[in-house]
């Protein structure tokens, strides 16, 4: 059930894909304020893929390239969560996630609720990525390289101390993360990074 305030804010369209049919209110987070601030208006297609009722269709979610720039925190959080789910398999989603900037408190809320929309649905909830100090890594974190790394297939060395921002996690391998160094997406072993 949607509220008039939510429908008005969203312009009577899905805040993720802009569809105008079968719209529902989806509660994203309880920490943003009232019901309207905590929710997004989305179509049944988006909702069913968010909740795992239907498998993810990566082409449908290309809409996030636009909706991720919303000024509404609930929309930003959901865009981040969905891009994080898509990033391991979709280069465009990794690129979008890298460009997406969230205020620290909004990013923390996005990360805190990410497991509600990802691991359990995709079956990767048992894979934990940890850095060289045993800290749990999450998609979107910033890590720092603790040693010089020769990058296979490239003509550069990723230097110790290099910050790698907005990492993505390789879902089926707890020892691998991905990130961009020298404008190139690379796979990095978790034992060679520490969480920033």
Q: How many CB atoms lie within 10 A of CB 176?
A: 16
pTM of this prediction?
A: 0.59
Question: And the tokens for 97?
Answer: 């996630």
pLDDT digits (tens, 9 = 90+) for 38-64: 899 999 999 988 887 788 899 999 999
| Range list of H helices, the chain | 4-10, 35-38, 44-51, 64-67, 73-86, 91-99, 104-112, 114-117, 119-122
What does residue 87 show for φ and ψ, rounded to 5 degrees? -55, -35
pLDDT digits (tens, 9 = 90+) for 152-192: 777 788 999 999 998 888 776 788 888 888 888 788 999 99
User: Three-state SS for 1?
Assistant: coil
């Amino acid at each position: 059930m949607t509220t008039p305030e939510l429908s008005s804010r969203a312009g009577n369209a899905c805040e993720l894909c802009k569809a105008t049919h079968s719209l529902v209110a989806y509660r994203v987070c309880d920490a943003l304020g009232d019901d309207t601030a905590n929710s997004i208006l989305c179509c049944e297609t988006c909702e069913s893929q968010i909740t795992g009722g239907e498998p993810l269709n990566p082409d449908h979610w290309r809409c996030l390239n636009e909706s991720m720039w919303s000024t509404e925190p609930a929309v930003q959080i959901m865009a981040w969560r969905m891009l994080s789910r898509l990033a391991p398999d979709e280069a465009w989603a990794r690129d979008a996630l890298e460009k997406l900037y969230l205020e620290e408190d909004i990013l923390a809320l996005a990360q805190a609720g990410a497991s509600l929309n990802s691991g359990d649905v995709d079956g990767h909830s048992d894979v934990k990525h940890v850095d060289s100090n045993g800290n749990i890594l999450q998609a979107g974190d910033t890590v720092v390289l603790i040693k010089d790394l020769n990058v296979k297939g490239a003509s550069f060395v990723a230097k110790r101390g290099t910050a790698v921002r907005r990492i993505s996690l390789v879902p089926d391998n707890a020892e691998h993360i991905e990130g961009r160094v020298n404008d190139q997406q690379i796979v990095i072993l978790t034992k060679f990074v520490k969480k920033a």
